[in-house]
Amino acid sequence: MASLKLSSLTKRFGANAAVNGVDLTVDHGLLVCLLGPSGCGKTTTLRLLAGFIDPDDGQIAVNGRIVSTPNATLPPEKRNMSMIFQSYALWPHMTIWDNVAYGLKLRRLPRDDIERRVSAMLGVVKMKEYADRYPSELSGGQQQRVALARALVVEPETLLLDEPLSNLDANLREEMRFEIRRLHDEFRYTTVYVTHDQSEAMTTADMIVVMNLGRIEQAGSPEEIYERPASEFVARFIGGTNILRGRHIGDGVVEGKGFRLFCAQGEPAREGETAVSVRPHKVQMLQANPGAAADNVIRGRIVRQVYLGASRDYLVEQDSGHQVRLTTDTIQSIDVGSVVWLRMPPEHCRALPR
């Protein structure tokens, strides 16, 4: 297992910095997800880690040994890393057995060792009975399992995964997320996993690194990232949220157009605008006016209601014109056009500096 340390890592393509001063430490045996919108620099970071490209600034160290700097990089094959791509990249002319054995043959391991390790690994990914087939005779999910087996059988210190599930259908993707986590719990290779799928990251990661425009916005456990987003970008990107903008008038109270909210969470901006984040499922909807004494209440009118099976999704327009989304139990069915009062509990109002 390896520990990874990225320091001020920067990669430019022309005038555009795809990765811009990234600092990140990944401890031994952790599974870290790089998560962020398209073009935020996830794949470039992974390719820098693999040694496929050189940084323009900064460095990468593996187990304390520097492997990438602008002047010198250790070639990919000397890094003891395995990488899995979106496209599986299995050898089409080789059987499943030969695909998995390939890396071990390359390392000139004794025949018995190869037999034992390939057989064990095909067992782990539940593909033993397919050993004699060719990749074209397998489903996408089965091919991805073989790709995992091929990457793991060489016992890499680091496993790099680039959107490994994006070619699979929704059900299989969900199943494979748990499979990747199970394999990680079994082998505990240090893993860097690139995805733009939030629930994939939540299911698999010990640590999520949210990237935006080549930089790290926030790094933390899935719970930290969701419960305590450090920026508006993270709050919106992870889980979705309502943002209300105003000014902090002291003691955690943010005042905006038509509202005054006490925020028990987060940190208001010292000056200028503060954004208040409230998750849709934390907003309570009342049909009667709770009175002027009630805290954190905003009046509005329902403009949309959608039945989603497990919940109802409402869009409510405040008197100021600003819209708030909320989800409720399906029992609470209120007609479009009704006037309602939205209560935003202070413990779920998070002040975020802009």
Q: Return residues touching ligand ATP (CB under 6 A).
A: 13, 16, 18, 36, 38-44, 196
Beta bridge partners of 67: none
Q: Could you count the other beta carbons within 10 Å of the beta carbon of residue 62?
A: 22
Which C-beta is closer to ligand ATP: that of 42 or that of 322? Answer: 42
Residue 47 Cβ vs ligand ATP, minimum distance, rounded to whole Å: 8
Which C-beta is closer to ligand ATP: that of 70 or that of 123? Answer: 70
Query: Is residue 16 helix, strand or coil?
Result: strand
Q: CA-to-CA distance for 47 and 68, rounded, in angstroms? A: 11
Residue 186 Cβ vs ligand ATP, minimum distance, rounded to whole Å: 28
Tokens of 32: 């870290």
Residue 225 Cβ vs ligand ATP, minimum distance, rounded to whole Å: 17
Q: CA-to-CA distance for 192 and 205, rounded, in angstroms? A: 9
Residue 258 Cβ vs ligand ATP, minimum distance, rounded to whole Å: 38
Which C-beta is closer to ligand ATP: that of 38 or that of 136? Answer: 38
Tokens of 1: 């297992």
Residue 234 Cβ vs ligand ATP, minimum distance, rounded to whole Å: 15
Residue 22 Cβ vs ligand ATP, minimum distance, rounded to whole Å: 11
Q: CA-to-CA distance for 120 and 317, rounded, in angstroms? A: 59
Q: CA-to-CA distance for 247 and 269, rounded, in angstroms? A: 8
Phi/psi region, residue 103 (left: phi>0; alpha: psi -120 to 50; beta: rest), is: alpha
Which C-beta is closer to ligand ATP: that of 197 or that of 227? Answer: 197
Which C-beta is closer to ligand ATP: that of 13 or that of 307? Answer: 13
Spell out the residues 6+ positions from residue 4 whose beta carbon is closer than 8 angstroms to its own.
Answer: 24, 25, 26, 49, 60, 61, 62, 158, 190, 192
Which C-beta is closer to ligand ATP: that of 86 or that of 119? Answer: 86
Residue 45 Cβ vs ligand ATP, minimum distance, rounded to whole Å: 7
Q: CA-to-CA distance for 60 and 63, rounded, in angstroms? A: 10
Which C-beta is closer to ligand ATP: that of 51 or that of 103? Answer: 51
CA dihedral 159, 165, 171, 175 (to 10 degrees): 0
